[in-house]
Amino acid sequence: MSPKSTIPAKTPNYVLLDGNVRIGPNIVPRENGPELTVVYGFSDKDPYDRFTTNSGRALRPYPLVTGYLSEPDNPVDQLMRLVVIDATGPDDKCLRATRLELVQEAQKTHQVHVSETERLLFDETLQAYKVESTS
């Protein structure tokens, strides 16, 4: 298990689109609890430029607030939305993430940082990320 991070993360403001589709890491489905949906989120131009360069795909940024946050919410017990924070590329072995509600609150109150609430660890055997809580 990785050590827990205590460093606050910059608040994500953008997601990446591949065509018209938001992209995120492949996640190992949970056996119990709410379904997970995860997207890559970026605080600024430099982090998403780095990710795009490392991905080798023609991706474009899209504002997180007007795109992802404005969609109707599913009931909390049915879906947990996570935002990966400033990943350097699609091959990262460990990703920092936070809950969408925290990003939404940080954007509303103009907070520069959000707390990391989950960590995604790549499982070589499954070729997908396992989600673990950091709290």
Q: Which domain holds residue 27?
A: 9-133
**Residue 73 Cα distances to 7, 76, 80, 116, 133, angstroms:** 29, 8, 10, 21, 22
Determine the pLDDT at residue 72.
Answer: 53
Quick check: is 3 in a domain? no
Give residue-wise pLDDT tens across range 29-79.
888 878 889 999 999 999 999 999 999 888 888 887 655 555 555 455 578
Determine the pLDDT at residue 62.
Answer: 86
Quick check: is 109 in a domain? yes
Quick check: is 1 in a domain? no
Quick check: is 2 in a domain? no
Quick check: is 78 in a domain? yes
Percentage, residues of the chain above pLDDT 70: 84
Determine the pLDDT at residue 58.
Answer: 85
CA 80, CA 58: separation in Å to the nearest integer? Answer: 28
Q: Quote the number of domains for the chain.
A: 1
